[in-house]
Each structure stands twice: as C-alpha cells, then as structure tokens.
Structure 1
Amino acid sequence: MVIDFSAISVSAIDWRGAVRIIRSVFPPIDLFEDIADPADWPLIISAEQKTNPRLMETIGNLDLVPETRRIAGPGASYLMAPFTHVSTDRPNRFSDGTFGVLYVGNSFEVALFETIHHHGQFMARTNEPAGWTSQFREIVLDVSARLHDLRSQAGSWGLLLPDNYEASQALGFRLRATGSDGVVYPSVRYPDGECVGVFYPDRAANPIQGRHLDYHWNGTTVDLYRDANTGQVYRIV
C-alpha cells in the first residue's frame, strides 16, 4: 500500500504528565545523568574508558543521537537510552531497530496496556511459568513537539495493525529521514488512548520516576499488576 505523505498533517503536541513504563532492570546511565555538557561527552568517555573498558556497553551507541539533540542531567537516562541501545533484534512499530524511538502514552492506563501486551508476548514466546514476573517502573514526563499526526489516517494505511509493523516501520523510516520529530497516533492496546513515538530525546523533558510495578503472568496473559510501593493488586480487565 502506498502512503500519501502529503496527506499527513503535523500537529503541536504538548502533553504534561505523560507516562512511559520501562523494565526496572535498566539502571540510570551515569554519563547521561551528569550535568556535563553533551559536547564534552566524547572527552569524558575517552578518559573513563581507560579504567572502565565496558563503559560503552552501558552507554550504547552515542553516535545514533546527533550532538545537538542530546540531553543531560537528572533523569536523562530515561530519554537517551532508547536511542543509544537499539538492535534489529528488537524492532518496534515505527522502527526496524536501526534507530531509536521513545514511546509515551498520554495516560498511565495507555502505558500500562501497551507494556503488558508486549510483556505477555515475551512470556508466551519463552514459555515462562505462571507467577509474578519482572518489575517495571513508571516514568512521568512531558512531551512538547510538532509531530506527524496519524490519528485520522492510520486505519486506512494499515499503520496500526495489531501485530504487523511493516507499513508503520516504512513510514517511520521515511519520516525520520526527511526531518520529522516523530508521530502521534491512537493507542492500539487501549481504546481512546493516544501515544507518541518521538525520534529524538530532546522532544521530551522533565522525566521523574513514579511507581514501581509488578506484572503477574497467569500462563496465558498478564492478568494482574501490583503497585510495589503500596502492595495493592489490580486486575487487568
């Protein structure tokens, strides 16, 4: 299917208190959390590699983020890491894994349902036993950008098929190559919710850690989540 790029409008998105949920296994990256100017990062990396040869495994591929679009300071790891740790073994809706995309929901429920879907797929694929599984953390952040708006056209081009990313990956590659900052689109996993996929970390800001969450796998699906801070358990319906 041929996508008419000229038919995709660009909309100003200004979300305060948007939500991303990530695996807690990923720790903050010291370089990104430091207040040092990103322009100085190559020199810092060169010096630190002399005592820490595995440093680049932590940082990832910094060259994937243009210098002028890098961000630093408290919480910056949550915004930088999705762009420096990419792999074609982990494709997603708008990227084949050769470049990063920061996915954010406009509410906690959107982020929750998007992540439990993908976590459930992983658990089924690896034939994991039932039980409480990996811990996740809620990241609350702001998104301010002019993004290509797919909220009215996505259905007609096959961009939001539940499990087929071919058309959306082709679109993401094309838009990013022509200077787009990302896309805004309806959530596939949570009705009436919205998501953004931004192509550069400087389109988001003010990330702070919220709740710690546990997901429960019943052998078929993720059926419960638990707020690790309070111990309260909620059923997924």
Structure 2
Amino acid sequence: MSIGNLFDALRLADIHQNLARNIVSIRQSQDLFDDLSPDPQDWNVAIRHELATQPKPYTSDSPAINRPFEEAVWIEAVAYPFQPPNWSRSRFSDGSFGIWYGADATETTVHETVWHWRNGLLADAGFDREGVRIERKVYWVRGDAALVDFRPEIKRMPELVHPTRYDATQPIGKRLHREGFPGLVSRSARCNGHTFGILNPAVLSNPVQACSLSYRLEAGHVAVEKEVGVDWLTI
C-alpha cells in the first residue's frame, strides 16, 4: 500500500482526553546547591541569587519560597521534545522536527519505553546487564485535537507498527508536520495500547504527575516498580 493511497483512506479522531507521557526523571528531587555547602542557609542564599539573576519568565512572587514549578513541569512534560536541539529520530520523525509521544495508559507507555530502553540506550552503551536500573516519571497531559487516525489502516499497512523499521512512517510524519496537522494516533508497536504523536504543543495542556516508576533489568526481563521495592509489571 502506497503512502498516497494511505492518505486517501484516512479519517480523523477527535480526541479530548488525558494522555500518558513517560519520561526519564528521578523519583526524589534533590537540592540544586547541596554540593556547594552543608548549611541549608547557604542553599537559601544561592537560591535567592539564582532567582534574582534569572530572566523574567523564571521570577516568582515569593522568590525565597516558590520555585517556578509550573514552568518546570510544562517543559518536562510537554515542551522538551519540541525544543531544538532535542529533536531526534523516531517512528514518525526523521529528526528534522520535534514530536511528542503519549499513550492511552501508563501500561502502554511502559511497554514502549522498556523496549527503547533495552534496545536503544542499554544496548548502545553496553550496559545491558543484570541489575541496571533507571528511574522515570509519568505525567497525564490533556490532549484536545483532531488527529489523523492510522488505526483502521494497520491491517492494510502493517509497516505503521513495524517493531524496528521506520522508513515507511518517517515520511508520513514529515508530511503531517509540513502540512500543519496537529498530530496522529496509532496502535502501539509493543502492545495493544494506543499511541499519540503530537506535532503541535498548542493542543496539549494541564500536565499533572501521575506516578514515578523504576525499571530494573533482572533475569532477562525488566521489572517495573511503582512503589519502591514492589514489582508492578514484568516485561
């Protein structure tokens, strides 16, 4: 099936729902200045100095108390993949533009990110060995958009969910980006869940942290923890 014929058959999915976004992030926040001094009063001085010298988007009404958490959450949960040089090659991007990936459920994001962690980062770095861990965070982000829906066409074009090859899907994403579509929805290549590729951050809003996760490589599989020390999923 050609890309041209695929576009002839496509329809839109009008989505108004929370989308799960799974990213690398530590479970417990750390003080930015605790390596400079053991005295918490020194940390407060450093924080006040930092806030006094930052540009206006980072100022606070209570600079000694409130850090710009809302903006930090927005950047972490939404804006990061749209900001160069953070663009990267993926299923629907050749690396020449940014795309945000979310899913219908936390479990779907786990299947997706576990696969990429094991077959990308760990394999490339030579760290695919017992006991390796990574910490992650899941956000719920509101999505409101009419997205191009590839799910009805997957049987006719299985390349849309090929586990490793993106040569068919990257031109599709590039066309959607060039022509101004807000994004797309497809089926996960790793499980039966649904995935969302967002090309326009304006259709995303209200990021809220859902949970923290830990991945641990063990006995040839990945154990996933929500609560520290308690396995939640095994993949």
TM-score, normalising length from structure 1? 0.73
Asked if the contact 1:106–1:194 (Cα under 8 Å) also holds between the matched residues in 2, the reply is: yes
**Bigger Rg, which one:** 2
After TM superposition, the runs of 4+ consecutive aligned structure 1 residues lying more than 6 A away are: none
SS at match of 2:141: strand
Asked if the contact 1:15–1:143 (Cα under 8 Å) also holds between the matched residues in 2, the reply is: yes
The aligned counterpart of 2:79 is 80
Cα distance in structure 1, aligned partners of 2:126 and 2:155:
32
Deviation at 1:154, TM superposition (A): 2.8
Equivalent residues in 2 for 1:104-123, closer than 5 Å? 104-121=102-119, 122-123=121-122
Specify whether residues 181 and 196 from structure 1 end up closer, same or farther in structure 2 by C-alpha distance, changes over 3 A only: same
Asked if the contact 1:75–1:206 (Cα under 8 Å) also holds between the matched residues in 2, the reply is: no
Cα distance in structure 2, aligned partners of 1:231 and 1:205:
33
Deviation at 1:155, TM superposition (A): 3.7
The aligned counterpart of 1:179 is 180
SS at match of 2:152: coil
Deviation at 1:218, TM superposition (A): 3.1
Asked if the contact 1:87–1:98 (Cα under 8 Å) also holds between the matched residues in 2, the reply is: no
For structure 1, which runs of at least 5 residues remain unmatched after alignment? 28-47, 53-71
Cα distance in structure 2, aligned partners of 1:235 and 1:149:
29
The residue identity in structure 2 corresponding to 1:10 is L
Deviation at 1:2, TM superposition (A): 2.1
The residue identity in structure 2 corresponding to 1:8 is L
Cα distance in structure 2, aligned partners of 1:185 and 1:218:
31
The aligned counterpart of 1:126 is 125
Cα distance in structure 1, aligned partners of 2:102 and 2:191:
13
Deviation at 1:11, TM superposition (A): 1.6
Equivalent residues in 2 for 1:81-100, closer than 5 Å? 81-86=80-85, 90-100=88-98
SS at match of 2:80: helix
Specify whether residues 115 and 85 from structure 1 end up closer, same or farther in structure 2 by C-alpha distance, changes over 3 A only: farther
The residue identity in structure 2 corresponding to 1:161 is H
Cα distance in structure 2, aligned partners of 1:8 and 1:120:
33
Deviation at 1:73, TM superposition (A): 4.4
Specify whether residues 113 and 186 from structure 1 end up closer, same or farther in structure 2 by C-alpha distance, changes over 3 A only: same
Equivalent residues in 2 for 1:1-237, closer than 5 Å? 2-3=2-3, 4=5, 5-16=7-18, 18-24=19-25, 73=71, 75-77=73-75, 78-86=77-85, 90-121=88-119, 122-128=121-127, 129-157=129-157, 158-191=159-192, 193-218=193-218, 220-221=220-221, 223-228=222-227, 230-237=228-235
Asked if the contact 2:80–2:86 (Cα under 8 Å) also holds between the matched residues in 1, the reply is: no
For structure 2, which runs of at least 5 residues remain unmatched after alignment? 30-49, 55-69
Cα distance in structure 2, aligned partners of 1:151 and 1:174:
18
Say which is worse superposed, 101-110 or 132-141, in terms of deviation: 132-141
Q: Over aligned residues, Cα RMSD in angstroms?
A: 2.3
Deviation digits for residues 183-213 of structure 1 (CA, Å, limit 9, x no counterpart):
000111112x111101011111111122221
The aligned counterpart of 1:61 is none
Query: Between Structure 1 and Structure 2, how many residues are aligned?
Result: 190
Specify whether residues 87 and 219 from structure 1 end up closer, same or farther in structure 2 by C-alpha distance, changes over 3 A only: farther
Say which is worse superposed, 124-133 or 135-144, in terms of deviation: 124-133
Deviation at 1:95, TM superposition (A): 0.2
Asked if the contact 2:224–2:232 (Cα under 8 Å) also holds between the matched residues in 1, the reply is: yes
Asked if the contact 1:87–1:97 (Cα under 8 Å) also holds between the matched residues in 2, the reply is: no
The residue identity in structure 2 corresponding to 1:123 is L
TM-score, normalising length from structure 2? 0.73
